[in-house]
Amino acid sequence: MTADLARAGARWDDDPSAGEWILPLLGEFGPTVDAIVPPVYAGYAVVPFPLDDDEPEERDVVPEGAYERLAALLEVFGPRTGEQAVHVGLWEGWGFLYDHGKDPATAPGMGVYLAVEERPRWWQRGREARAVRSEMRRALAEARAELADLRVERPAAAPLAYPERARFLWTGPLGSALALRRHDTLPSIVWPEDRSWFLGIPEYTREAVLGGPADLVAAVGADPRLGARAAGPGTELDIDD
């Protein structure tokens, strides 16, 4: 993940101070817009990430086309954002995260195993048995290496203490909000340095929430790629209940 951030021109924040302005503004943790986006903006919109017919319904599976929709949102935000930095948050609870300084191949949270349908009689001894066990060790080593490549090391910093959902922060250009694409995970929150807009993508829903000035919200609503609907701070999201 650190390499992914570096390629996107971003870096983990050393502390959560960039986002501490958000916390006293939020509503109670729950299914409403103001639980994820501060209720201080002139307008709000909800952008769905619709399911395909063949997609599973679990909220922790990124739906097909979600990153294309996120990229389209960022494209709309571009003129408003300019060259200023943006702040991006990632929920601390994803299973692919592992503690700072640990070995990603063996750190708790994820693991690899081999399943054998049936143990033949030569399982415990013989040249063939040794060859099979050697092949199994090789397969496990390859699986651990693949797993390690997909895992993300938590930064050596405290997360932003969102109610019930703390989030680690990074800072970079607008496009760095797409840095998690290889890990098949969407960011949780995104906002620019001037706080002129705010995007929330709660882990417990398949919808993104925008708060911002009326003209930006109108531009999102008018973009045929996004399927947005108008919302307010009290609007309830489609959560997994």
Please give the distance of CA 241 from its chain centroid, rounded to a whole number.
Answer: 20
Mean pLDDT lowest among 34-48, 53-67, 129-143, 159-173: 53-67
108: in domain: no
Q: Tokens in use for 104?
A: 């990603």
Confidence class for position 25, pLDDT limits 50, 70, 90: very high
Residues 30 and 134 in one domain: no
Distance separating alpha carbons of residues 80 and 215, to the nearest angstrom: 10
Residues 50 and 136 in one domain: no
pLDDT at residue 166, as a whole number:
96
**pLDDT tens digits along 195-213:** 999 999 998 888 999 999 9
Residues 125 and 200 in one domain: no
**pLDDT tens digits along 176-191:** 999 988 877 899 999 9
**pLDDT tens digits along 146-161:** 665 667 788 889 999 9
Residues 158 and 214 in one domain: yes
- The reported pTM is 0.81
Domain count, the chain: 2
For the chain, the C-alpha Rg in angstroms (whole number) is 21
19: in domain: yes
Q: Which of 150, 168, 191 delimits the end of a domain?
A: 150
227: in domain: yes
Residues 83 and 158 in one domain: yes
Q: 111-127 burial, b for 16+ CB within 10 Å, e for fewer? A: ebeeeeeeeeeeeeeee
56: in domain: yes
115: in domain: no
48: in domain: yes
Residue-averaged pLDDT of the chain = 84
Residues 136 and 165 in one domain: no
Place of tokens 């919808």: 207
Residues 145 and 171 in one domain: no
Beta strands in the chain (DSSP E): 11-12, 43-48, 86-91, 97-98, 152-153, 167-172, 189-192, 198-200, 207-212, 229-231
The one-character DSSP state at 49 is: -
HEC letters along 116-150: CCCCCHHHHCCHHHHHHHHHHHHHHHHHHHHHHHH
Range of the domain at 224: 2-98+152-231
Residues 66 and 6 in one domain: yes
39: in domain: yes
Residues 141 and 171 in one domain: no
pLDDT at residue 138, as a whole number:
74
Residues 69 and 25 in one domain: yes
110: in domain: no
